[in-house]
Structure 1
């Protein structure tokens, strides 16, 4: 575990260094307004592409108005980002108060079962911690103009938003590494099974009232809820990574339409993944008794395995 923490520190230092080197280089123009330096003997170099007239620029006819219309209401996207994250926290908090936690029917047995490897734990926290930073800085970038800026001085706001943008860009790299390794490494265990629909039908056994109380539906290594989160993370993560890279490196696309579409997709996926991330964190830390231990030690209690992943536990016992 100590080696993994050292590796994580090295990766973060590398990201900081790369960010600093990028910041020290020459600023590059946006790809849709290239700047060309034309050297003329005996004269001041001419910069073509820079606006030289005080008149308003002509609107690029190739820009699709649909993208602009979708991005135009900044307050709408600010609200969507806020409600998807903080709204989900409020809903789940109320659910826990009314429903209670999912306790182990037989309590903790004290016997441990190996569930995750050291590499699994490392990439989970590498991507997970980076994801939390991305969510926090993304919320500031998307909502701070309306929620934070009016309550602080202009100089303070400039420092906050500039720091958030820099940290957001830096945390993208460990997130990409964690996301890619998790998707490739865990995909074989996330395929649909015949028991998945029944798991949803019994709400995963997490409801503590009515006919749902005491239900413990069958599940393999990953239950249906975890699979839903995995595929949302895998597909949504691919879109958010691709669109994010376009915004970090505009030269990857050739038109404003592509850049605007990337921003729109980034916002949509941020809303979806933000809400799912809250559910994932709640299920691991609050709802499921004994669940957090899995991604801290790599082991789980036998009774936890029997109650939440009985089909997988039976396979482990046969080995």
Structure 2
């Protein structure tokens, strides 16, 4: 984009003096074109200019890395973000239409087992609500020209982007706080166990047909799928947080122009991964697993749900006497 805008200006600068020296328009055009290429090559090689700016990079006319990274953002990351959200929703909708949900084989027991503290529930929503808003506003800012502007028009997209930008910025802080608290507080329950591989081999027992039907693999407080989600969120959430600080507070971090561009690419790439996993997590908790959503509403789960989906954990708290029921 910058090269496209800059070339005509450079050609104009070399064309005007050339008019006084050449009477043949073809000669003038060829000469100005060659000189413009020479100037552009000099810029790419770091030629400096003069300006009244006091910025650290005031002498650099244009960052040649923009030409390499910005198209990657628009051509790869923007479609990737849209696909991560809408593609995963479509996949899960099709899966549920074919497979159905995972029902409790013995129905609801009516006995509610303590699973999460009130603090845990609060921490979950502290991270979850901003995460959802960041996904939606990030989608608007990153892929809006691809999925919004062609259908709603430029004015509607501009309005949505103007709203999305401050919401995205303000939601970054509670998201980072929620991410930090969840990562530190919950990591101890997310360590790999020997039975996790068996969980994957039978797809968690969520398949309702074929050789997988009726399988109930062992799982501790967190099953193998939840552990993958947790560590994905912990790792790429860290990348999102660090790059978000660089992009949100450049006056304090003072990044170089290349670091800012790299932060933008890493931020969007990590957001795509977290978005895809978030859709899986949301579907599993709210739709796929009967009785699963109650855990993060009240902190309690039905006893039959605990036995079916987290039997190792249920047996442990029953054996050590820490099993508690809701009054």
TM-score range, shorter chain: 0.7 to 0.9
Flag as ranges the 4+ runs of structure 1 deviating above 6 A: none
Secondary structure, aligned partner of 1:113: strand
TM-superposition CA deviations, 1:39-94 (whole Å, max 9, x none): xxxxxxx94348xxxxx97344xx6x4x7524314133221111111000000000
Aligned to 1:58: 61
Kept after mapping to 2: 8 A contact 1:253/1:259 = no
The yes-or-no answer on 1:48 pairing with 2:53 is yes
The yes-or-no answer on 1:138 pairing with 2:138 is yes
TM-score (norm 1): 0.79
CA distance in 1, matches of 2:96, 2:137: 28
TM-superposition CA deviations, 1:248-300 (whole Å, max 9, x none): 11241431111111011011111100000000000001110110010001000
1:204 CA displacement: 0.4
Distance change >3 Å, CA 48–CA 57, structure 1 → 2 = closer
CA RMSD after TM alignment: 2.1
TM-score (norm 2): 0.77
Number of positions where the alignment pairs a residue of Structure 1 with one of Structure 2: 266
1:211 CA displacement: 1.0
1:152 CA displacement: 4.4
CA distance in 1, matches of 2:194, 2:317: 19
CA distance in 2, matches of 1:57, 1:317: 67
CA distance in 1, matches of 2:100, 2:293: 17
Kept after mapping to 2: 8 A contact 1:208/1:214 = yes
Distance change >3 Å, CA 151–CA 89, structure 1 → 2 = closer
Structure 1 residues 240-279: aligned runs within 5 Å: 240-251=240-251, 252-279=253-280
Distance change >3 Å, CA 153–CA 99, structure 1 → 2 = closer
CA distance in 2, matches of 1:213, 1:162: 49
Moved more, 165-174 or 74-83: 74-83
Aligned to 1:126: 126
Aligned to 1:300: 301
CA distance in 1, matches of 2:157, 2:87: 25
TM-superposition CA deviations, 1:166-220 (whole Å, max 9, x none): 0000111111111111111101110111111111111100011111000000010
The yes-or-no answer on 1:179 pairing with 2:179 is yes
Kept after mapping to 1: 8 A contact 2:134/2:172 = yes
CA distance in 2, matches of 1:179, 1:118: 17
CA distance in 2, matches of 1:271, 1:188: 26
CA distance in 1, matches of 2:95, 2:153: 38
Structure 1 residues 124-203: aligned runs within 5 Å: 124-152=124-152, 154-203=154-203
Structure 1: 5+ residue runs without aligned partners?
Answer: 1-45, 51-55
